[in-house]
Amino acid sequence: MEISTIDASQVAKMFLAGAKNLEAKKEWINELNVFPVPDGDTGTNMTLTIMSAAKEVGAITEPTMETIAKAISTGSLRGARGNSGVILSQLFRGFTREIKKVDQIDVDVLSRACVKAVETAYKAVMKPKEGTILTVAKGMADKSCELVGESDDLVHVIDEIIKHGDYVLSQTPEMLPVLKQAGVVDSGGQGLM
């Protein structure tokens, strides 16, 4: 089935499902955590961040793109914990800056939102390090730009963006020696996926 647009209520459902998925995998993500310090809290911090936003999203009875965007942005910012949580909240902040301007998301809007998410997150980090959640997000944003004009089907486009994100994540040990030494991918990047 081809889907060319996503409305606010669908965005809310997708966000809540993503939050639930991250929460279910937080311990696994914690176990991957070796950078910047092996403190085993990336999954926990990302979960606390997204669940703060999920609480606000879940409280909206008549969702509009603007109210959903505000709930995701402010909720994640308020709940941000640790480096990974702050970066995740900045990705959401940038993404929602684009979607709040529209009633529906199509491939063009999705691509612009992904690019804005990455720009916002990179600006928020004093010394961005490649091989992290930032690299995975950037790879996904780049892929979203490649796909504009190729297809109007969001199911196909999102699937391709996720496949590319998984590929970039698999390459993070080649970018950060500490990951390669530990035999893991970046925990923040895994949390994003």
pLDDT tens digits for range 122-145: 999 989 899 999 999 999 999 999
**Does the pLDDT at position 163 exceed 80?**
yes
Summarize pLDDT for 99-125 with one digit per residue, the tens. 999 999 999 999 999 999 999 999 999
Length of the chain: 193
What mean pLDDT is predicted for residues 70-96?
97
**Is the pTM value of this prediction over 0.85?**
yes
**DSSP one-letter string for 89-136:** HHHHHHHHHHHTT-SEE-HHHHHHHHHHHHHHHHHH-SS--TTSHHHH
Helix (H, G, I), strand (E, B) or coil at 178: helix
CA distance 66 to 12: 11
120: its two tokens: 């916002």
